[in-house]
Amino acid sequence: MPITEFLERNARLYGQETALVELNPTEERDQGLTWRDFKLIEGNADAPYRRELSWRDFDRRANRFANLLLSRGVPRGTKVAILLMNCIEWLPLYFGILKAGCIAVPMNFRYSGDEIRYCLELADVSVLIFGPEFVTRMDPIIKDLKDVQSFFFVGKDVPPYAEDCLKIMGFCSSSCPPVLLEDDDEAAIYFSSGTTGFPKAILHNHRALVSSCLTEQKHHGQQKDDVFLCIPPLYHTGAKMHWFGSLLSAGRAVILRGVKPEWILRAVTEEKCTIVWLLVPWAQDILDAIDSGRIRLDEYLLDQWRLMHIGAQPVPPSLIKRWKGIFPHHEYDTNYGLSESIGPGCVHLGVENIHKVGAIGKPGYLWETKIVENGKEVAPGQVGELCVKGPGVMLCYYKNPEATEEVLRDGWLYTGDMAKTDEDGFIYLVDRKKDVVISGGENIYPVQIEDFLRANEKIKDVAVIGLPDARLGEICAAIIQLKEGVTCTQEEIDAYCTGLPRYKRPRKVFFDKVPRNPTGKIEKPALREKYCRGSLVEAQING
């Protein structure tokens, strides 16, 4: 059955119960309000700090947006993009797109204007939903978005080229739209990227979305009384597919807009959260705040918190040892996945296997794995490429058959990650074929930074690599070869890089020759060997 039926079931059985809560601690800081000062009932837009939505109103909002699309003559299969920060409107709009028989296209809220334009064109988007945070990025490119026929805005001060989405939805029917959905219908496009730095559009069907619900609930045992704290961005498969376990169990979810340790622990306390998914830097920040005395655990009520799990990047075993020392009653888990495999869970450690921390685990529920080299499976302990197979494997890279053929073979997804198994069958990642740097759970593509830096008139050549970092997992380092006779300082490079989004700016700069092989390719393994050793020691000491 399509994933929308889970929402309709919850609305029918648990209509008055809370489905979603949004907490915005930035508003509390600015206004001096407490979380209990405001409680949003649908339509009360004057509650900026805490907003909540019942399962019935969640479903009604999804129906309204679906009926809005249908009333505008938007045909089945139309790509509808969501460019919003995490908010209580996000998921109802996503499900409204699906209910209309359209294809949801979540957009990274860190994209620059040029990246927004590229992804909209790549995915053949005809309808775009966006929020106030993106107006300054949309304004310069709006004239170029000739194929986008409708712009819907969520927020105040609607720009002249858009329509007030929530206002128009208020005039639409809240009844379920008359659209028949099948498991094999196309449902969503997510964006990934290879070493070229250009995003690929990953196409999934409803069967894949449903499979992620089943896998997540099987792994983490969500029950109806569980409360999931969602902090990572909803455009990412990780956050949404972990929430899918709550959708399946009809459990409440709390969307926290902010990552300060105090905000996370207060959200757990106030909302009685039982499951929290963290990235490595957030977990480290919580531990550091506790160790420094900035956070006193006796000021919070955390006894109901039963599970902490981490994904999106390698997890240092030392971090989990520290965490268990402070929270010994917590179960711990980690999941491995890709957007091409509908997010986390194709490989799964399991709470019962904490003694294997450092491994990514074994095949997840409904999944198979193998490790191959030159087309043949390798023996335990030998390194090869990790391949996964299951109902969550993507249909294709949209409009890119060549790239699809490279990674999909006989139903197997070739991940590009090098791995090995131990004698017990647990999988360990060894290295990545791709040069993607994973910093704080975000993929950073070195080619984009290299191209930006090469535009500097003082730079002859540049290579960007990842260096180990105790908090973020990796940070970007730029090895810069200057033109002959030219001088330059790191301060000049730092100033120049303000033209990049903050998370893409190199954290370290080395002035050195950039080695290339006879075919002109940068010898990044040599650079990693040269520069990573000291950073690895530093990361281990800091960890």
371 three-class SS: strand
Average pLDDT of the residues in 479-499: 92
Tokens found for residue 360: 């990514």
Say which residues have a Cβ less than 8 Å from residue 208's Cβ, sequence separation at least 6.
187, 342, 391, 392, 393, 394, 395
Averaged confidence pLDDT in the chain: 89
What string of DSSP letters covers 2-26? -THHHHHHHHHHSTTSEEEEEE-HH
Domains in the chain, please, with CATH? Answer: 4-258 (3.40.50.980), 307-432 (2.30.38.10), 437-542 (3.30.300.30)
Q: What is the pLDDT of residue 536?
A: 46
Q: Which among 472, 88, 441, 109 has a CA at the least distance from the CA of 256?
A: 88
Residue 217 above 60 pLDDT?
yes
Q: Output the CA–CA distances (angstroms, integers) from residue 237 to 56, 105, 208, 312, 377, in the order listed.
A: 25, 11, 12, 10, 29
Return the DSSP state at 531: H
Alpha-carbon distance 188 to 215, whole Å? 18
Distance of CA 119 to the CA centre of its chain: 16
Task: Label residue 493 by pLDDT band (50, 70, 90).
Answer: very high
CA angle 327–330–331, rounded 5-degree value: 145
CB-based contact 264:231 (threshold 8 Å)? yes
The pairing of beta strand 79-83 with beta strand 125-130: parallel
E strand map for 24-107: 50-54, 79-83, 103-106
- pTM listed for this prediction: 0.82
- At 69-113, the pLDDT tens digits run 999 999 999 999 999 999 999 999 999 999 999 999 999 998 889
- At 381-414, the pLDDT tens digits run 998 899 999 999 999 999 999 999 999 999 999 9
Say which residues have a Cβ less than 8 Å from residue 486's Cβ, sequence separation at least 6.
458
Q: What is the pLDDT of residue 192?
A: 81
What string of DSSP letters covers 42-59? TT-TT--SEEEEEHHHHH
What string of DSSP letters covers 108-164? -TT--HHHHHHHHHHTTEEEEEE-GGGHHHHTTTGGG-TT--EEEE-SSS--TTSEE
CB-based contact 193:200 (threshold 8 Å)? yes
Burial class (CB in 10 A: 0-12, 13-18, 19+), 472: buried
Greater confidence (536 vs 293) lies with 293
Alpha-carbon distance 133 to 155, whole Å? 9
Alpha-carbon distance 242 to 424, whole Å? 27
What per-residue string of b and e applies to 397-431 under the rule 16 or more CB within 10 Å gives b?
bbebeebbeebbeeebbbbbbbbbbeeeebbbbee
Q: What is the pLDDT of residue 313?
A: 65
Q: Which among 200, 211, 205 has a CA at the least distance from the CA of 405?
A: 200
CB-based contact 219:350 (threshold 8 Å)? yes
Phi and psi torsions of 480, nearest 5°: -115, 125
Length of the chain: 543
Say which residues have a Cβ less than 8 Å from residue 331's Cβ, sequence separation at least 6.
306, 307, 308, 351
Residue 436, phi-psi category: left (phi > 0), alpha (psi -120 to 50), beta (remainder): beta
- At 270-306, the pLDDT tens digits run 999 999 999 877 888 899 899 889 999 999 999 999 9
Q: Output the CA–CA distances (angstroms, integers) from residue 42 to 252, 476, 493, in the order listed.
A: 17, 44, 49
Average pLDDT of the residues in 199-213: 96
Residue 433 above 90 pLDDT?
no
Average pLDDT of the residues in 48-75: 95
Task: Label residue 42 by pLDDT band (50, 70, 90).
Answer: very low
Amino acid at 259: V
- Region of poorest pLDDT, from 27-36, 252-261, 311-320, 463-472: 27-36
- Percent of the chain at pLDDT exceeding 70: 91
Residue 122 above 90 pLDDT?
yes
331 beta partners = 307
Helix orientation angle between 317-326 and 280-292, rounded to the nearest 10 degrees: 50
Residue 36 above 70 pLDDT?
no
Q: What is the pLDDT of residue 538?
A: 47
Task: Label residue 521 by pLDDT band (50, 70, 90).
Answer: low
